[in-house]
Chain A
Amino acid sequence: MKKKEYVDAVNEIKVDRDLKERTINKITQNKKHKNIYSILASSIIVFVIGISIAIPMINNKNKVTPIEIVEQNNGLPKLENFENLYNIMKNQNSELYETNKDIAFTDSVTSSATSESTLEKSEADYSTTNTQVEGVDEADIVKTDGRYIYYISSKKVVIVNAENSSDLKILSEISYSKEEKLNPRELYIYNNKLIVIGQKENNYYDDLMMVDSIYPIQNDSRTTAKVYNIEDKTNPKLDREVEIEGSYLSSRMIGDNIYFIANKYIYTYLFKDDIAELDEEMFKPKYIDTAIGNEEKCLQYNDICYFPESEDTSYLNIAGFNVNNNEKANIDTYLGAGSDIYSSQNNLYITRVKYEYEDERVYGYYNNYDVNTYIYKFKLENSKAIYEKAGSVPGRVLNQFSMDEKNGYFRIATTDSQNWNSKTNTNNLYVLNENLETIGKIENLAKGEKIYSVRFIGNRAYMVTFVETDPLFVIDLSNPNNPIVLGELKIPGYSKYLHPYDENHIIGFGENTKTNQYGGVVTDGMKMALFDVTNPNSPKELYSVDIGEKGTYSEILNNHKALLFSKEKNIIAFPISISEEEENYRTKLKFQGAIVYGLDLDNGFKLKGKIAHMQITDGYRDYDYTKAVERIIYINDSLFTLSEGLIKSTDMNTMQESGSLEIKLEDNE
């Protein structure tokens, strides 16, 4: 069946953000002119008054939105009953066209984890997922415990014995029947438990889709966590399963407690109907927890709270449970979706970016808006996420790395703007106390630019903004009430991910840029750079390497989990597709595989080698996605490169292949 391939291919095509913004400017400006003419025609006096009103209104715009405490006492309003849900939804529906429903679904899958822990990791001689916070594990498509490799290859999970790197063996495979429609997405390993987080789709591609349906069919995806006992690696046994409604947003595992979050979009179109015609059971959040039975259960409306300011027509479902016992899972539903999450060992923060538009009294003058990031804080306690507080800061948050918690303070970096013209962009950093009240801030950094990456390391924040050159800001946060910019460095290109190398050095992974013949700035290959922040007042770019040309891409630009970094092993490795530019701005694929570097402070980056699972001589015609390297991990002195159809081991010191293992793939569909 190739239909899915076609749909997936088309889905990869996205409209350029700039084109969108230009178009919005164009079509909304048109109206502005019309308004001026009509006002002029009717009366000049009105026009003058209009201006004089408009200007103060613009100036008065409450730019520095102070933190709003949404609820004074931990309690959020409850839905209580279906009538309330109906009224909220109907209200949303009258505003029509939900703006950001997709953000809730997709955005943060890529941006769900990170790591300071890599700095400390030295005892265990195998790699772990590159996470953001020490002690807070993040799920990925591959995990290892130093002897075995657990890997999601296409639609199944394989357990591989990697004790002897020249003799890799598949011990078992966990696959899912077609009826179950489960796509394994990510894994966790905890002692003898393997946790598979998967998504079940009500087959979107069924041809029945639109047939005779008046309304688009309700999205019926479910997110599920399956816990396997893997004491016997040749025979994993399903112990437990917890399933909630919605698309998988992200998850974290702290000790033996796992938390996972899904957004369930509710189609507001249905709420145009009379309430009497709607089945209230249909909108109750559903879940399955095998600890209490195999049948589907419902949450009741009086169990559901809502975020009053969120104006979102999605349920945010949070499940938490302990993988080592069979106690009932904690399942909570909030009305209002989340888009990015950050978790420390004690608190989970879920953010939601919201655009609030000014009303039209300014004669449709500037279509200005306020953009705020709402933050919902949950205390994590024995597999329960307990709602604590909400707060907000001006601007929009980029991803989980824009957030951090230290000594009870929550720090967050945002890009603020007032309309679609990026010239109004400013970049800010806020420090919030335990009650999510802003106590310190820096605002108006790098006007006209936006944040590309942020990393909080100890008492400092490093922030990369970009428009034509890339300033790296070093911000001191040792006094939470008074963060200050210590230094700034301007270099071409930008970093999309910052990784700590040691206390005084940071590695930036990003893209190079060049100016084209029309004066525009275009990307041109990848760039990896080492920044020296020993003197925070004057950060320096010590070394940098350029990789490939236009068309070169690595998952690391959007997903930190694609990085393998070990200072002790002197290894920096990531999957990459390298392209070169040909005439007529076309690009040609030259390589897909893992690229492995070493780094030392005296000599900079050194290419150790490249590991490919496929030979590419004729661009994409030779590209075999089952052989595309997705991750690199290590155990002792062996590197393992993983692609759906093949796992290879390579000696880290000689960079010679030491073994390989083919994974048989079932024919798709």
Chain B
Amino acid sequence: MEYIDKNRYLERMVEKYSDMIYRLALVRTKSKENSEDVYQEVFLRLAKKLPEFENEEHEKAWLIRVTINCSKNLLNSKYLKYKSEMKENITFETKERHDIYYAVQELPLKYRTIIHLYYYENYKINEISKILKTNENTIKTRLARAREKLKEKIEGGIE
């Protein structure tokens, strides 16, 4: 792909994907500070690599994949600055939103990632399987478990 101006392209990518990357990073790392680190790292990698994307879906999936990897690296790193514990420091407009968001946050990492990709990013199971490089059945099982766990925490669970 030819870009008139790489800086302009990068700016546009930041505008376009900022929220997506930050939100996913927050789900994964549970801390604003760590999410900011992940967020910057993802864009640095994009700037360094400037991958050629086949289409928009490819582009989005690449960024999600990198966000997941960066947050994995960070969470495993001894440099992890902030313990990943998020308690009520994001305020939501409604109690329902507050409850569901924190209920998801309380799930184990592998569950909440799938919940986020499935319900928020609207990916299908086979797509999640590709992004996470995990077998489809495993994703299916995890999604079912995650739902069960949510049902225990909040009335009605997530549908």
Q: Is A177 an interface residue (CB 8 A)?
A: no
Binds A, one of B62-70, B71-79, B120-128, B129-137: B120-128
Contact of B88 among A14, A26, A364, A619 (CB under 8 A): A619
- On whether the beta carbons of A12 and B100 are closer than 8 Å, the reply is no
Residue-by-residue, is A197-241 near B (CB-CB < 8 Å gives 1, otherwise 0)? 000000000000111000010000000000000000000000000
Q: Is A72 an interface residue (CB 8 A)?
A: no
Q: How many residues of A contact B (CB 8 A)?
A: 55
Contact of B91 among A16, A551, A668 (CB under 8 A): A551
Question: Which residue, B19, B96, B101, B156, has most C-beta atoms of chain A within 10 A?
Answer: B96
Q: Is A15 an interface residue (CB 8 A)?
A: yes
Which residues of A are found within 8 Å of B52, using beta-carbon distances?
none
Kindly identify, within residues 1 to 43 of chain B, every residue whose CB is under 8 Å from any CB belonging to chain A: 1, 3-16, 18-19, 22-23, 26, 36, 39-40, 43
- On whether the beta carbons of B124 and A210 are closer than 8 Å, the reply is yes
CB-nearest residue of chain A relative to B19? A15
- On whether the beta carbons of A13 and B91 are closer than 8 Å, the reply is no
Q: Is A309 an interface residue (CB 8 A)?
A: no
Residue-by-residue, is A28-71 near B (CB-CB < 8 Å gives 1, otherwise 0)? 10110000000000000000000000000000000000000000
Q: In the docked arrangement, what's the CA distance between A26 and B37, Å? A: 13
Q: How many residues of B contact A (CB 8 A)?
A: 58
Binds B, one of A2-10, A245-253, A401-409, A516-524: A2-10
- On whether the beta carbons of A20 and B93 are closer than 8 Å, the reply is no
Q: Is A176 an interface residue (CB 8 A)?
A: no
Q: In the docked arrangement, what's the CA distance between A95 and B11, Å? A: 13
Which residues of B are found within 8 Å of A620, using beta-carbon distances?
88, 91-92, 95, 98
Q: What are 26 contact pairs spanning A and B, CB under 8 A? A: A2-B159, A6-B158, A7-B120, A8-B93, A9-B92, A9-B97, A10-B23, A15-B22, A20-B15, A23-B39, A23-B40, A24-B10, A95-B4, A97-B15, A99-B11, A211-B124, A359-B5, A364-B6, A367-B5, A586-B87, A587-B89, A623-B94, A623-B98, A625-B94, A625-B96, A668-B96
Q: What would 19 more interface pairs be, CB under 8 Å, given A6-B158, A620-B98?
A: A2-B150, A2-B158, A9-B98, A15-B39, A16-B36, A20-B14, A24-B10, A26-B43, A28-B10, A28-B11, A99-B16, A100-B15, A360-B5, A364-B7, A420-B11, A586-B87, A624-B95, A625-B95, A628-B94
**CB within 8 Å of A: which residues of B?**
1, 3-16, 18-19, 22-23, 26, 36, 39-40, 43-44, 46-48, 56, 87-101, 104, 115-116, 119-120, 122-124, 150, 154, 156-159
**CB within 8 Å of B: which residues of A?**
1-3, 5-10, 12-16, 19-20, 22-24, 26-28, 30-31, 95-97, 99-100, 209-211, 216, 269, 357, 359-360, 364, 367, 420, 551, 553, 577, 579, 585-587, 589, 619-620, 623-625, 628, 668
